[in-house]
Amino acid sequence: MSIPGESPILRTIDWRGRALSLAELRRELPRVASASTHDAESSVRSILDQVRSAGLPALRSFAERFDGVAQEQPKVPQAALDRALAELDPEIRRALEESIARARTVALAQRPEDVPVQLAPGANVTLRWEPVRRVGLYVPGGLAVYPSSVIMNVVPALAAGVGSIALASPPQKEFGGLPHPSILAAAQLLGVSEVYAIGGAQAIGAFAYGIPASAGFAGLEPVDLVTGPGNIYVATAKRLVKGVVGIDAEAGPTEIAILADASAPADYVAADLISQAEHDPFAASVLVTDSAELADAVQAELAAQMGWTKHRERVARALAGEQSAVVLVDTVQQGIDVVDAYAAEHLEVMTENAAAVAARVRSAGAIFVGPTAPVSLGDYCAGSNHVLPTSGTAAFASGLGVHTFLRAIQVIDYDRAALAAVAEHIVVLAGAEDLPAHGDAVSVRFADRGATP
Ligand SMILES: NC(=O)c1ccc[n+]([C@@H]2O[C@H](COP(=O)([O-])OP(=O)(O)OC[C@H]3O[C@@H](n4cnc5c(N)ncnc54)[C@H](O)[C@@H]3O)[C@@H](O)[C@H]2O)c1
Ligand SMILES: N[C@H](CO)Cc1c[nH]c[nH+]1
Ligand SMILES: [Zn+2]
Measured CA to CA, the distance from residue 372 to residue 382 in angstroms comes to 12
Same domain, 393 and 424: no
Q: Is 138 annotated as a binding residue?
A: yes
Same domain, 346 and 437: no
pLDDT digit string, tens, across residues 292-346: 999 999 999 999 999 999 999 999 999 999 999 999 999 999 999 999 999 999 9
Residue 39: strand, helix, or coil: helix
Residue 71: strand, helix, or coil: coil
User: Is residue 282 in contact with ligand 2, taking CB distance under 6 Å?
Assistant: no
Q: Is 379 annotated as a binding residue?
A: yes
Instruction: Give the per-residue pLDDT at 2.
Output: 46
Same domain, 436 and 343: no
Residue 403: strand, helix, or coil: helix
Domain boundary among 233, 248, 263: 248
| 311 among known catalytic residues | no
The residue among 51, 82, 383 whose CA lies nearest residue 226 is 51
Q: Is residue 421 part of a domain?
A: yes
Same domain, 88 and 132: yes
Ligand 1 atom with the shortest distance to the CA of 234:
20
Contact 408, 129 (CB under 8 A): yes
Ligand 1 atom with the shortest distance to the CA of 171:
39
> Which residues constitute the domain of residue 303?
12-30+252-398
* Domains of the chain: total: 3
CATH number at residue 237: 3.40.50.1980
Q: Which ligand is nearest the CA of 284, by number?
A: 1
Measured CA to CA, the distance from residue 85 to residue 354 in angstroms comes to 41
**DSSP type of residue 262:** T
* Closest residue CA from atom 31 of ligand 1: 66
Instruction: Give the per-residue pLDDT at 33.
Output: 76
Tell me the residue ranges of DSSP E strands in 245-363. 246-247, 255-260, 284-289, 325-328, 344-350
The number of angstroms, rounded, from the C-alpha of 89 to the middle of its chain's C-alpha atoms is: 28
Instruction: Give the per-residue pLDDT at 450.
Output: 77
Q: Is residue 199 part of a domain?
A: yes
Alpha-carbon torsion (155, 221, 179, 31), positive or negative:
negative
Alpha-carbon torsion (36, 8, 255, 171), positive or negative:
positive
Same domain, 48 and 17: no
Same domain, 67 and 166: yes
Instruction: Give the per-residue pLDDT at 99.
Output: 98
Instruction: Give the per-residue pLDDT at 5.
Output: 53
Sheet hosting strand 406-414, strand order edge to edge: 115-120, 123-131, 406-414
User: Is residue 228 in contact with ligand 1, taking CB distance under 6 Å?
Assistant: no
Helices (H), ranges, 55-87:
56-67, 78-86
Residues in the chain with pLDDT < 50?
1-2, 453
Q: Is residue 404 part of a domain?
A: no
Instruction: Give the per-residue pLDDT at 452.
Output: 52
Measured CA to CA, the distance from residue 318 to residue 109 in angstroms comes to 37
Contact 241, 204 (CB under 8 A): yes
Measured CA to CA, the distance from residue 14 to residue 155 in angstroms comes to 42
ipTM of the complex, rounded to two decimals: 0.98
pLDDT digit string, tens, across residues 382-433: 999 999 999 999 999 999 999 999 999 999 999 999 999 999 999 999 999 9
